[in-house]
Structure 1
Amino acid sequence: MTVPGPRVRRNDFGVLEPPEPGEWEPRLSVSVVIPARQCQQTLDLTLAALAAQSYPAHLLEVVVVDDDGTPPLVLPEIAPERTRVIRAAPGGWGIAWAVQCGVEAAEGDVIHRLDADIVPYRTHVESHLRWHHLADYLVVLGTVRFTGAGGGLPAPAEVRAAVAAGAEDGLFDMASSETHDWWERLVDEHDGFRRAPSAMLHRIHVGATASAPAALLRAAGGLDTSLRLAEDTELGYRLTQEGAVFVPDRAARSWHVGRPTAMKRGDEVRRHNRPYIADRVPYRRALRTEAGRQWLVPYVEVVVEVGDAGFEDVRFTVDSALASTLPDVHVTLAGPWRRIRDDERRAPLDDPLIDLRLMRAAYAHDGRVAFTESAADIRTPGPFRLSCPPGWAIGAETLDRLTQHAEEYELGRLRLALEERADGVVTAVFDRTSALARAVRVAKDGEDLDDVVHEVFGLEWLDAETWGVVPGASVRLGRRGNRNTEAALWRRNAERHEAEIERLKAAAAALKEEVRVLRRDGAKAERDASRWREKAEANRREVVRLRRALPRAVLTRAVRRILPPAKPGPGS
């Protein structure tokens, strides 16, 4: 599926203009994949709602995957025309396994996962697909409302009729229903998710109603079938690394029959998911607090292309990278390792491949180091990659600083200028995996990749020495290097604590000033109140006096009107 369209910068999908439902002509096919097990009653409602969708029936197929339930699920009378129920393949079990079986059986351009307890509104599928017609790297999420307890379930025929008539709100009691509060809040806090940072995108990838191009999903590796829970979150992370843009669409509405396990047993679910997510999703920094740990997916991959470099030059770069204060770092050495033959007799000291042999011998049993023939073969699972030529030492805090800088400014590529030669500037390149994947996906033939990365995320040039990358010959390795690394770690922690102390001092000073202002304003308010009380009391006394004097004044005026004025007497 190739869909031309504007280039989205970071996750700001506001440049895309989706049509209103019913006002466009769809052309992409969609496979709705539904993992299900022992849920015939709710599945019947889901299929009845899908039978009344506004999306063209000839472009819609439904694949229900029965996850080895007893009794087996059957196809009900009310369902879309192109619906089939298949059994999950042997060899696995669980939601991720079932979804992956459905993905492999699906024929559509777009895969739309839907849970078997979802009742989608009439334009639900159409709302998803209108986005996929604009670009081929979007992941679209629908919204759900959870039904309350009691009241019973409507019949499938009633569901189909209500959906066809656009009367879905009346299928369940709206007053007792709930929304996905944390999901809605996350979307709202980031301007409809258009301003969401890359590290957060995977968090809204909830499997209840999510769609992605089939090619993008397969490029990401499909579902991790070893997971029993949190498979949607983990997949969201890998889709991010493929350069996906995540679009939450509130027009894609649906009912969720009942509350999910994650809402009913949230603490237990989080406890269960923690080690699986920590191992697979490096963005969850708060889950990787243990010292000295290695993780399945590193935060930073350091790539060193060996070329014709000597052992010492490679060692400078590899050892300094592994001594980083950032704990989850992995190194890959790219070189002609196949040339090494251990079964051939040789003169050890005069071996023309001696440097390659020494490199392999030095790191063959280090779990943090891998070997590959070509850097082009490397598929970086982590969020960041540093490509550094051999012979340069990477400062203990360099990788940590680079990741923080890239995250703070959401940059896609950092070029560190190492030295200037006659043929140009030698650089180390720090890439955001998702930005590079997006750039490769949208770049046209002949375009400079730097320009495309800058357009879709942002590129910045840095001075290597300022960021701690220096010639390896100027750095001593070994014990002193380890002590330097430890000192750097303590220095970094001390600086953080000092910064926190200064922040708290500033906050205390601001609070003290605020209290002073409040006290000053309070004293002034009290003085004003006292003056107003005095004025009020004076006015009250005046009113009393006037009330007492008023009858006498009125009586005097009345007497004067009735009685003639006295005549002046003699001698007046």
Structure 2
Amino acid sequence: MKAGQPRVRFNDYGIITPPALGRWRPSRTVSVVIPAWRCQEKLDLTLAALAGQSYPADLMEVVVVDDGNTPPLRLPEIIPARTRLIQSRPGGWGRAWACQSGADAADGEIVHWLDADMIPFREHVEAQLRWHHLADYLVVMGALRFAPERLPTAQEVHAAVSGGHADKLFEWDLTQRNNWFEDFAERTDRLRDCPVDAYNVHIGATATVSAELLRAAGGMDTSLVLGEDTDLGWRLAQQGAVFIPDAEARSWHLGPDTVARREKEVKRYNWPHLAERIPELRWLRTHPRRTRLVPYVDVVVDVAGLPFEDVRATVDGVLAGVPHDVTVTLVGPWSELTSDRRSPLDDPLLDLRLARASYENESRVRFTEVAAEVSAPAMFRLRLPGGWVPAPDTLQRLTAHADTDFAGVLNVVLSGHADLVFARLERTAAISRGLRLVGRDEDLDDVVHAIFGVRWTDGAMWGFVPAAEAAPPRANADAAKWEREAAKWRAEAVKWKATAAAQKQESAKWKAEANEWRRSAVQFRRELGRFRLRERRWRRAMLARAPFLRAVKRALLP
């Protein structure tokens, strides 16, 4: 982690200006990881294209991962100088498994995912790597078009790429744009106007990430065989990543867009898996009482020295509220709770022992002695002082309030008497990026305020009360009431999403019309220029012929 890097606010990477292609000196090493399955012929073309890259050969290695092919893959004749062929490690299969096998074997500072059916243009690697020389928390994605499966030879590919005319390998009109990616990018000013959900378009067919950031995110989820790119994008985002599409990192994808052709089937397969892993997809988490693999909010409570009754009131209040996809992390000296002989009632650790006994069988409660710096991959963390109890809808309203302007931290004042007591709602992505950027003598909140925003609010308006004033949770009436409220908010969310979609369609329509008017204006200006040119020529011709015309006139007139 390096301080002194450019401080991108949300995902607006416009403050970073990459050097022009061919006009800078690379220094960082990159490992191009290629998972390969049943694609020897296309792999040969991918490697031939990589052999013609503009990025320095001594800084680039290629790791081809054989994902259990029979017969095994082989390295062709035309390959980059530093190319290795390895077998996917035993125990699994699929793209995510192969990618992680390659990343584990890679030596480069930057990991460059590249599918085995791609033909990257000459500056493809260089275009993406130039960004990684400027900041360590960037995820850069290349541009691709789907080309027909009329395969050139490896020699033709190498000659075209190294000669800088890979765009001539296929007829442009016969290729297909990457519609989902390009449409999303156009709606969001190339992801610059995309504060927290740019991870949605993370595509592993051609993308780069620092090896350190990849490790911090936990690498690929090797249990997934589809949707692994989106899942990794989410976890990278929770580590503070900024996502950048680079239109100059061009490539051909050999063959049609399989996802687009079977979109409904892909979504049907992916959504149950992504619903468990990505809490930001609230529309996939509509069940009011489901527990999920990754929580929406992790509530962290330091219980050391607290009376058991205060701990119970706080934890029960959180677990009884909405949303339900939350966890509670209890921080305390749990290792001190030994099984040695003791007096049950005079035990100095009795309150701590009762807290563990109450929640050790609750799946949503976790125990730790030291809380991690962030609660990744959860979307939010609420640091809540023990002995303070939220209302049933507190977390739902508080997170919704933080999302009105994508605040990085929301400090909630619980008591202003004597020492200030406050809860703290932290957006995981904001804290993670702040930790990467904060200087030695800086306050973390100052950095988070610059990149996401820090706000203060009063706890009473959100329903926090001391444990002594809190009513015990009621399972029936209150739960039903807040479930109805949650359903109402979900309905409102659906309504506003529909409105937003309609407005986006209307915006797209007006943009199309504006583009048409601009094209018409350009054509009009061209026609006007041609007319004026013809007029000037006519005037010059008339002036040149004027003496002759005057002589004719004098001869004809009496």
Q: Same fold (TM over 0.5)?
A: yes
Q: Using the alignment, how far apart are the partners of 2:126 and 2:489 within structure 1?
A: 53
Q: Report the secondary structure of 2:224's partner residue.
A: coil
**In the alignment, structure 1 residue 277 sits paired with structure 2 residue 277:** no
Unmatched 5+ stretches in structure 1: 505-572
Q: Using the alignment, how far apart are the partners of 1:249 and 1:502 within structure 2?
A: 31
Matching residue of 1:40: 40
Q: Deviations over 1:516-569 (max 9, x none)?
A: xxxxxxxxxxxxxxxxxxxxxxxxxxxxxxxxxxxxxxxxxxxxxxxxxxxxxx
Matching residue of 1:532: none
Matching residue of 2:336: 339
Matching residue of 2:355: 359
TM-score (norm 2): 0.86
Matching residue of 2:165: 167
Q: Deviations over 1:273-323 (max 9, x none)?
A: 111111111111111112321110000000000021101111111111111
1:458 to 445, 453, 456: 453
Q: Using the alignment, how far apart are the partners of 1:3 and 1:414 within structure 2?
A: 24
The offset of 1:3, in angstroms, is 8.3
Task: Name the amino acid aligned to 2:466.
Answer: P
Q: Using the alignment, how far apart are the partners of 1:161 and 1:3 within structure 2?
A: 43
Matching residue of 1:131: 131
Larger CA Rg, structure 1 vs 2: 1
Task: Name the amino acid aligned to 1:30.
Answer: V
2:436 to 437, 441, 451: 441
Structure 1 residues 66 and 397, CA, compared in 2 at 3 Å: closer, same or farther?
Answer: same
Q: Report the secondary structure of 1:252's partner residue.
A: strand
**Contact 1:4-1:135 at 8 Å conserved across structures:** no
**Contact 1:386-1:428 at 8 Å conserved across structures:** yes
2:414 to 414, 418, 421: 418
1:184 to 178, 182, 185: 182
Q: Using the alignment, how far apart are the partners of 2:386 and 2:226 within structure 1?
A: 42
Map 1:350-429 onto structure 2 (within 5 A). 350-376=346-372, 379-422=375-418, 424-429=419-424
The offset of 1:377, in angstroms, is 7.0
Task: Name the amino acid aligned to 2:481.
Answer: A
The offset of 1:492, in angstroms, is 5.3
Q: Using the alignment, how far apart are the partners of 1:31 and 1:190 within structure 2?
A: 30
Matching residue of 1:316: 313
1:489 to 472, 483, 487: 483
Matching residue of 1:470: 465
Structure 1 residues 378 and 404, CA, compared in 2 at 3 Å: closer, same or farther?
Answer: closer
Structure 1 residues 450 and 503, CA, compared in 2 at 3 Å: closer, same or farther?
Answer: closer
Q: Report the secondary structure of 1:314's partner residue.
A: helix
Map 1:10-49 onto structure 2 (within 5 A). 10-49=10-49
**Contact 2:375-2:381 at 8 Å conserved across structures:** no
Q: Deviations over 1:478-502 (max 9, x none)?
A: 43x7533432333454577799999
106-115 or 413-422, larger mean C-alpha shift = 413-422
Q: Using the alignment, how far apart are the partners of 1:433 and 1:456 within structure 2?
A: 13
> Considering only aligned residues, what root-mean-square deviation do their CA atoms show, in Å?
2.1
Task: List 4+ stretches of structure 1 deviating above 4 A.
Answer: 1-4, 491-504
Matching residue of 1:66: 66
Q: Report the secondary structure of 1:409's partner residue.
A: coil
The offset of 1:102, in angstroms, is 0.6
Matching residue of 1:295: 292
Q: Using the alignment, how far apart are the partners of 1:116 and 1:227 within structure 2?
A: 19
Q: Report the secondary structure of 1:159's partner residue.
A: helix
Structure 1 residues 190 and 167, CA, compared in 2 at 3 Å: closer, same or farther?
Answer: same
Matching residue of 1:233: 230
Q: Using the alignment, how far apart are the partners of 1:413 and 1:255 within structure 2?
A: 42
Structure 1 residues 349 and 247, CA, compared in 2 at 3 Å: closer, same or farther?
Answer: same
Task: Name the amino acid aligned to 1:257.
Answer: L
Structure 1 residues 372 and 111, CA, compared in 2 at 3 Å: closer, same or farther?
Answer: same
Structure 1 residues 121 and 277, CA, compared in 2 at 3 Å: closer, same or farther?
Answer: same
Q: Report the secondary structure of 1:217's partner residue.
A: helix
**Contact 1:159-1:171 at 8 Å conserved across structures:** yes
**Contact 1:38-1:72 at 8 Å conserved across structures:** no
**Contact 2:3-2:436 at 8 Å conserved across structures:** no
Q: Deviations over 1:15-71 (max 9, x none)?
A: 001011001111101110000012110001101111111111111110000011011
The offset of 1:267, in angstroms, is 1.6
Q: Using the alignment, how far apart are the partners of 1:246 and 1:119 within structure 2?
A: 22
Q: Deviations over 1:360-379 (max 9, x none)?
A: 11111111111111224774
Q: Using the alignment, how far apart are the partners of 1:326 and 1:407 within structure 2?
A: 15
Task: Name the amino acid aligned to 2:267.
Answer: R
**Contact 1:38-1:71 at 8 Å conserved across structures:** no
Q: Report the secondary structure of 1:194's partner residue.
A: coil
Q: Using the alignment, how far apart are the partners of 1:502 and 1:46 within structure 2?
A: 44
**In the alignment, structure 1 residue 212 sits paired with structure 2 residue 209:** yes
Q: Deviations over 1:390-442 (max 9, x none)?
A: 110111111111211222201100000111243x4211000000100000011
Matching residue of 1:264: 261
228-237 or 168-177, larger mean C-alpha shift = 168-177
Q: Report the secondary structure of 2:33's partner residue.
A: strand
Q: Using the alignment, how far apart are the partners of 1:478 and 1:468 within structure 2?
A: 14
The offset of 1:354, in angstroms, is 1.4
Task: Name the amino acid aligned to 1:426.
Answer: V
Q: Using the alignment, how far apart are the partners of 1:452 and 1:196 within structure 2?
A: 20
**In the alignment, structure 1 residue 222 sits paired with structure 2 residue 219:** yes
Query: Number of paired residues?
Result: 498
Q: Using the alignment, how far apart are the partners of 1:166 and 1:484 within structure 2?
A: 67
Unmatched 5+ stretches in structure 2: 499-558
The sequence identity of aligned pairs, in percent, is 52
Matching residue of 1:286: 283
Q: Using the alignment, how far apart are the partners of 1:6 and 1:377 within structure 2?
A: 22
**In the alignment, structure 1 residue 242 sits paired with structure 2 residue 265:** no
**Contact 1:96-1:231 at 8 Å conserved across structures:** yes
The offset of 1:197, in angstroms, is 2.5
Structure 1 residues 458 and 50, CA, compared in 2 at 3 Å: closer, same or farther?
Answer: same
Matching residue of 2:114: 114
Map 1:90-105 onto structure 2 (within 5 A). 90-105=90-105
Matching residue of 2:503: none
